[in-house]
Amino acid sequence: MKTIKGPGIFLAQFAGDEAPFNTLEGMAGWAAGLGYAGIQIPSWDRRLFDLKRAAESKEYCSEVLGIAARHGLAITELSTHLQGQLVAAHPAFDTLLDAFAPAELAGKVKARQEWAVQQLQYAATASRNLGLTAHATFSGALAWPFFYPWPQRPAGLIEEAFKELARLWTPILNAFDEVGVDVCYELHPGEDLHDGATFERFLVAVGDHPRANILFDPSHMVLQQMDYLAFLDLYHERIRAFHVKDAEFHASGRAGVYGGYLGWIDRPGRFRSLGDGQIDFRGVFSKMAQYDYPGWAVVEWECCIKHPEAGAAEGAVFVRDHIIRVTDRAFDDFAGGAADTERNRRILGL
């Protein structure tokens, strides 16, 4: 068994225009000061990271690794959540998604999608140059507007959506395979890959591609009323990244899992800072250790109540306290003995 690495922190929700949150150097110092051991970098934020340059320059990657190392940090993964969203997008979201790409691509859907694919190609090479083995992203959404089967979906609609999703993602998965890096899709409402069933459908569509893997975030399962511990039993072999994020769901007579278009503060299901929600993280970390999860435990802070800096500070302690140092021997070794075939046969009456 492996001891989970951590705590790490995803920088996206904390980056800003004021120091120390406007440079990678500043954010590395801030994260290290809170007790983090790793940082997950949002590759779209040019204040912190230049993805194209990282793909083209090993020297630049050495500089990035040096910044982290000066503060006693490792880089856990790069993230292309925003770019991944643009790889496959239903036209209903075209205007909304303009904010996820450079301003000069606004309204240019085809050019925006091509830019996103190129970004993922850069991310594969950059991950290799940084010595990483996993990458965090979103799948995008072609079928999401039809997630509820009313109006009734025509036969073959979902199959066609996943066929196209596979067509778009297979060359990207192949690029990551060439550099030995896993693509870890965060299963998230708003994405075509949002639960186990949709991930299974995608795996079939991409021919069980070895680089198609999962970023496990139990908070999204709480909001969908899924059994996140059973999910680990089912899909642990494909889990290669882990966002440690809390959530709660309080059944209501007014709204349900769809949220009633309410703001986050009023929804029955909402994200919370670590320790303030309902997730059984002792159970989660136990199963992750049991199944030999090879990666990092990375705090993703999202909460509609607590200040982000308070959530970040508490998150480092929370994850450190939950990581299980795994045993290197069986607890009952003291009562055992060396293998002896003849003795074993006598015990069996043979």
Q: How far is CA 272 from CA 16, 46, 144, 295, 304, in A?
A: 21, 28, 25, 23, 7
Axis-axis angle for helices 196-205, 157-179 (nearest 10): 70
Phi/psi at 90 (nearest 5 deg)? Answer: -70, 145
CA distance 29 to 71: 6
Backbone φ/ψ region at 87: left (φ over 0), alpha (ψ -120 to 50), beta: alpha
Q: 213: which residues sit within 8 A by CB, 6+ positions away?
A: 134, 182, 183, 184, 185, 238, 239, 240, 241
CA distance 263 to 272: 14
Q: How far is CA 217 from CA 120, 154, 186, 214, 274, in A?
A: 21, 32, 7, 9, 12
Q: What is the pLDDT of residue 318?
A: 98
pLDDT digits (tens, 9 = 90+) for 257-311: 999 999 999 999 999 999 999 999 999 999 999 999 999 999 999 999 999 999 9
Q: Which residues of the chain have pLDDT under 70?
A: none
What are 199's two structure tokens?
């991930």
Q: Which residue has the tokens 């934020």?
A: 45
305 membership: H or E segment, kind and range: none
Model confidence, pTM: 0.96
Q: What is the pLDDT of residue 332?
A: 78
Q: What is the pLDDT of residue 330?
A: 80
Q: 17: which residues sit within 8 A by CB, 6+ positions away?
A: 47
Compute the radius of gyration of the chain from its Cα atoms.
22
Q: Provide the 8-state DSSP code for 153.
A: P
Q: At 129, which amino acid appears?
A: N
Q: What is the pLDDT of residue 300?
A: 98
Bridge-based pairing state of the strands 5-10 and 296-299: parallel
- Angle in degrees, CA 273, 322, 287, rounded to 5: 105
Superfamily of domain 5-347: Divalent-metal-dependent TIM barrel enzymes (3.20.20.150)
Q: What is the pLDDT of residue 336?
A: 79
Q: What is the pLDDT of residue 215?
A: 99
